[in-house]
Amino acid sequence: MNTDFKCPHCLNLLNVGDNIVFSTRNSWGKQGLIILHPELGNYTVIKHPGFEVLEGEILEFYCPFCSKQLLSARNANLASILMSDENGIEYEIHFSRIAGQHSTYKIIGQNIDIYGEDAAEYFDAFNGGSW
Ligand SMILES: [Zn+2]
Residue 125 and residue 73 in contact, taking contact as beta carbons nearer than 8 Å: no
d(CA 120, ligand 1 centre) in Å: 29
d(CA 76, ligand 1 centre) in Å: 19
d(CA 79, ligand 1 centre) in Å: 13
Q: Dump pLDDT digits (tens) for 38-73.
A: 999 999 999 999 999 999 999 999 999 999 999 999
Say if pTM beats, i.e. exceeds, 0.85. Answer: yes
d(CA 50, ligand 1 centre) in Å: 25
Ion ligand 1 nearby residues (CB, 5 A): 7, 9-10, 63, 65-66
Confidence (pLDDT) at 124:
87
Of 127 and 90, the one with more pLDDT = 90
Query: How many CA atoms does the CB half-sphere of 96 hold within 13 Å?
Result: 23
Q: What are phi and psi of 119, to 5 degrees?
A: -60, -30
